[in-house]
Structure 1
């Protein structure tokens, strides 16, 4: 097999191989609209939290981190994808491919980390309200933000470094973007070590979900004991659960399809399955929190009113 090995400097992305001229315009317009909405809702929520001092609290800081992460992850996909839609050749450099893998999957991992940290914050707020300010200090919040950002980066750095050492026998990736599993399938050598590390990372972040579920068992028990607890649970925990469920289903859909997907599935279905975690969570998360969290909603509306008043005075 080693005789077929070649040093590749770029990969071909075949996800758009069946696109027609008519579909190209429609797809470009819809993709641009989707990315514009992602930028708008996430930047709006980030700016609202930054500008309103009332929102300088742990829960909103974590929410801001979640929105920043959405901008980070989608930036690795949408600009390149928009360019590919208008281009007749869909290629990406070897280094660019590895960078795309690193950013997209560190974004996905970071989403789980941030949602887990937010679950811990809600657990302390509802189950240990008298200790909340002594537990969620500035230093603790800074540590949790750092944990939710740096650990995913470290995990994906290990995965991508191991992938970069593989000798490849092909350069055709059957997706709209680069992902680690697609590169592993091109390897001339055994990828057992890569698969083991990959599954360890997956189970590590599924462990985050398990921790979150355990936290919510305690949250429900505490919330049922008082009217104030139930109110706080409905206001802050329901949107968190929706976002966690959304992120989990979307990413598992992509991971399981990448490894076990059927070749008989149409290309359009494959494409949707591949990009949904880059499309649905970045839009849904800020919208859910922006609509459900009363303080965020009021702050956002006040910010819009102030901008209108300033424009009126000018």
Structure 2
């Protein structure tokens, strides 16, 4: 039996001995991490340095890309070390720090996407009132709402988990997960479970309600408006919807994998599904917005071409 005072580290058992293949996995993960950093930093720089992009939609996009960098940096360096390591252990403080990083990333991502859907609703359904409603103060309030509540709520979640008395230290995943830690508890977890429901309501139900409301109104405009209005709505909403669906897909499989018995699923597939939202989303979002939004695409291309010319 291991109590809370003795659980100074956790063992991650989802890793398997892959021999020399671990170097291949290391290179693949490293390449993915470099691509994520490059794509998100490029778009952040483009939005920040071009005053023509200092509009609400692009500022919310910039917030999204900053979160992609934050979330991937909380996972990828850890994965790279663990892939090369022969002993897959992590200290308790580092484990809880990673849980905080992963959970805040996921919460901010979903909240950011919800606010972006509301921004598109105002722009498409109330274009004449857009500038009067989406003021600078409103943008500041919305960005604060994107970032501060998730950090506070997750901080309380981690504080409750740290205080639990644990009867084990084995986590069957490739990274630390709060639900897996709570399952190790041999003390009462009622408070954790109740708070978890509250956490779920605020971090999932509220953004989902805002997204559903926004897109129901947008679809109404698409079906009742002229052809030009439909095309404009589709062009601005397509990358957002694709990013939202991709993240929701990954989050669904991560929750399913944590909550239900998936022993019948091959280990490598389970690992891939558990990492999907944390690894594919940070690369998928900048690619979708960079390639589908002509204004960003043109500025990115000009910036890259200018860099190439300077190096020649």
Please list the CA deviations of residues 47-105 of structure 1 after superposition, one character each: whole Å capped at 9, or x if unmatched: 11112111111101101110110110111111011011111111111111111101101
TM-score, normalising length: structure 2? 0.95
For structure 1, which runs of at least 5 residues remain unmatched after alignment? none
1:85 to 63, 76, 83: 83
Instruction: Return the offset for 1:4.
Output: 5.3
Change in 2 beyond 3 A, CA 1:4/1:179: closer
Distance in 2 (CA, whole Å) between partners of 1:21 and 1:257 is 26
After superposing on structure 2, the runs of 4+ consecutive aligned residues of structure 1 that deviate more than 6 Å are none
Q: How many residues matched? A: 309
Structure 2: gaps spanning 5 or more residues: none
Cα RMSD (Å)? 1.4
Match of 1:168 in 2: 166
Match of 1:22 in 2: 20
Aligned twin of 2:210: 211
Deviation at residue 277 of structure 1 after TM alignment: 0.8
Is 1:283 equivalent to 2:267 in the alignment? no
Question: 1:16-95 maps to which residues of 2 (within 5 A)?
Answer: 16=15, 18-95=16-93
Question: Is the CA contact 2:56–2:139 (under 8 Å) kept in the aligned structure 1?
Answer: yes
* Cα shift at 1:6: 4.9
Distance 1:189 1:59, change over 3 A: same
User: In 1, distance between residues paired with 2:309 and 2:33?
Assistant: 29
SS for the counterpart of 2:164 is coil
* Aligned residue in 2 for 1:292: 292
User: Partners in 1 of 2:39 and 2:165 — Cα distance?
Assistant: 42
Query: 2:151 maps to what in 1?
Result: 153
* Distance in 1 (alpha carbons) for counterparts of 2:17 and 2:51: 48
Quote how far apart the aligned CAs of 1:192 are: 2.6
CA contact (8 A) 1:126 1:223 kept: no
CA contact (8 A) 2:2 2:169 kept: no
Choose which of 103, 128, 140 in structure 1 pairs with 2:101: 103
Alpha-carbon distance between aligned partners in 1 of 2:167 and 2:155, rounded to the nearest angstrom = 23
